[in-house]
Amino acid sequence: MKKAKFLLPLLLAALCMPLGAQPGSALNLMLEPVTIAGLPGLQSFAYGQYNGKWLLIGGRTDGLHRRQPWASFDIEGHNTQLYVVDPVAQQTWAATLATLPQPLQEQLSATNMEFYQTGNMLYLVGGYGYSPTADDHVTYPYLTAVHVEQVMNAIINNTPIAPHFRQITHANFAVTGGRLEKLYNTYYLVGGQQFDGRYNPMNGPSFTQQYTNQIRRFTIADNGTTLTVNHLPPMTDAENLHRRDYNLLPQVFPDGRLGITAFSGVFQQTQDLPYLNCVNIDTSGYVVNNEFSQYLNHYHCATLALYDSLQNQMHNLFFGGIAQYTMDNTGALLQDANVPFVSTIARVTRNAAGEMAEYKLPVEMPGLLGAGAELIKPETLPEYDNHVVKLHLLPADTVLLGYIVGGIHSSAPNIFWSNEGTESAAAAQILKVYAVLESPTAVHTLNPQSVNGLQCQVYPNPSEGEFSITFENEKTCNLSLAVYGTDGAVLIEENFPKLQAGKHLLQYNMPESTRGMVILQLKCNGQTYTQKVLIEE
């Protein structure tokens, strides 16, 4: 039986403001679904790799967590196995966690651990799950070192696995939903939260929650026997680092420095909305970029970072997941306040001047999937020290960029309030991602809202006629706002001459007879923001 393949044309064009794009190196992507016998559905897991094989640890075997506290993150959905996967031979091996000491069993079955592999050592931090020791759901305060090669060999050969794990405890490691990266010799534990107790969407008394609001830095001295951590002073920012369940990607900045960028995530301090800005991190500190807005792919999903040194362009790819916005082919945003599963594939590119822009790819994921997935790259790809792919060194033919593994596959965009556990599942099928270097066959759609610097958001949307608009202008401007019907009729029109710089909130009531879709347009300093708003009864 012939396998289906999805050809995703991707033009990585030379970006210069205005972002009209000059022709640049062309990179087409092709996705090929693959099923490996014995590979379970997993989401929000950790992984390591060695010699072409993967080690999969933790995560959950079910789909989206349920809304009822008694059913959410139940113990039946914990992954209590370690898996070794050979994607080339399409073979899988497994071993139970039951032979490990209790603290290791508990953390290694957790969801949303932070993780990073250095050489043959995989470091796992935190994670959330049910602890029989505490008789409650907790965020684990552990850092665990996993010798990837030795654990894989033990699983394959059915020998004891316990000697290949070491674990230490510190309160700084009690983090879930953050991300872990490494710059030179320092580890960066960015964002996340400590969440203890049972999840409750109505904010009942079943849990406590504390965001770290930090970039926690530490070094590790590890001789294979003794594991020592030196904690460095953290960087704290309750406004901009108050984010979790997001994407943190390694970067090469325009001046050649290696760094990290934190993209989107949830939730803002003042409102239950995702972050639109990003945070650029390097060894000297961090800088918040409010000139760029990311409206697509808000939650953690499969990602890939590539740098083209010939064009001095940093490309970040985001595959599906969960987001509050989608975008139509005209560049207008469509917002869903329920924050649905999406099939959007997008890229965010930083040009040589440091300017960032978001593009929607013309073809989407083959289904509502990608949330809680990981893209595992082959070890043979040319990379920088921080694992950014050297795009300019890829061969001029088809090359395997990696595998999208696991994640949540949802049956519909919005399932949360109706979720009884059958509306979604952890994806067992993987997607091979190929790069095909050839003449471009399609151009991506620029999201013009991503480059206007307004950080504009409209809520609630859908609305019953009342909605709020938040935005930020960095300098005084003559602001104009208009709301149009789909027939072009002007429903609201207002001007704000010489509006002072800063964050602003506007609130509006639509005429009572207004129903259906309306188009909101905000103009400031030559920049335009356009969004569709649904008015319901």
Mean pLDDT calculated for residue range 393-403: 90
Sequence-separated (6 or more) residues with CB below 8 Å from residue 338: 413, 414, 416
Q: What is the pLDDT of residues 435-480, one digit of tens each?
A: 876 545 556 788 888 988 888 888 888 888 898 898 888 889 899 9
Q: Domain for residue 283, yes or no?
A: yes
Q: Domain for residue 265, yes or no?
A: yes
Are 253 and 211 found together in one domain? yes
Are 373 and 299 found together in one domain? yes
pLDDT surpassing 80 at residue 64? yes
Nearest to 247 by CA among 269, 278, 268: 278
CATH of the domain at 488: 2.60.40.3080
Q: DSSP per residue over 334-402, as a string?
A: EE-TT--EEEEEEEEEE-TTS-EEEEE-SS--SSEEEET-EEEPPTTS-B-TT--EEGGGS-SS-EEEE
Q: What is the pLDDT of residues 294-323, one digit of tens each?
A: 999 999 999 999 999 999 999 999 999 999
Mean pLDDT calculated for residue range 127-131: 97
pLDDT surpassing 60 at residue 22? no
Q: Domain for residue 1, yes or no?
A: no
| pLDDT bucket at 286, cuts 50 / 70 / 90 | very high
Peptide bond preceding 460: is omega within 30 degrees of 0, i.e. cis?
A: yes
Lowest-pLDDT choice from 107-111, 227-231, 327-331, 524-528:
327-331
Are 369 and 503 found together in one domain? no
Chain-wide mean pLDDT for the chain? 90
Q: What is the pLDDT of residues 161-216, one digit of tens each?
A: 999 999 999 999 999 999 999 999 999 999 999 999 999 888 888 899 999 999 99
CATH of the domain at 104: 2.120.10.80
- 396, 423, 448: which is the final residue of a domain? 448
DSSP class of residue 89?
Answer: T
> How many domains, in total, are found in the chain?
2
Are 275 and 209 found together in one domain? yes
Are 75 and 194 found together in one domain? yes
Q: Domain for residue 418, yes or no?
A: yes
Domain enclosing residue 116, as ranges = 6-448
| pLDDT bucket at 7, cuts 50 / 70 / 90 | very low
Q: Of all residues in the chain, what percent carry a pLDDT higher than 90?
A: 69
Mean pLDDT calculated for residue range 499-507: 90
Are 420 and 476 found together in one domain? no
Are 102 and 131 found together in one domain? yes
Written as six digits, the tokens of 518 are 């309306």
Q: Domain for residue 489, yes or no?
A: yes
Sequence-separated (6 or more) residues with CB below 8 Å from residue 33: 3, 4, 366, 429, 430, 431, 432
Q: Domain for residue 206, yes or no?
A: yes
pLDDT at 18: 32
Burial status of residue 276 (CB atoms within 10 A of its CB: 0-12, 13-18, 19 or more): buried
Burial status of residue 287 (CB atoms within 10 A of its CB: 0-12, 13-18, 19 or more): middle
Nearest to 11 by CA among 311, 362, 390: 362
- Whole-number Å distance between alpha carbons of 252 and 383: 11
Q: Domain for residue 484, yes or no?
A: yes
| pLDDT bucket at 1, cuts 50 / 70 / 90 | very low
- Whole-number Å distance between alpha carbons of 82 and 88: 19
Own/partner pairs for 198-205, CB < 8 Å, 24+ apart?
A: 198/69, 198/70, 198/72, 198/73, 198/136, 198/137, 199/65, 199/69, 199/72, 199/73, 199/137, 200/69, 200/72, 201/67, 201/416, 204/69
Q: How many CB atoms lie within 10 A of CB 415?
A: 20
Are 292 and 307 found together in one domain? yes
pLDDT at 180: 98
- Whole-number Å distance between alpha carbons of 124 and 113: 6
| Torsion angles phi and psi, residue 289, rounded to 5 | -105, 100
pLDDT surpassing 90 at residue 337? no
- 398, 432, 448: which is the final residue of a domain? 448
pLDDT surpassing 60 at residue 13? no
- 448, 481, 504: which is the final residue of a domain? 448
Written as six digits, the tokens of 220 are 């590790």
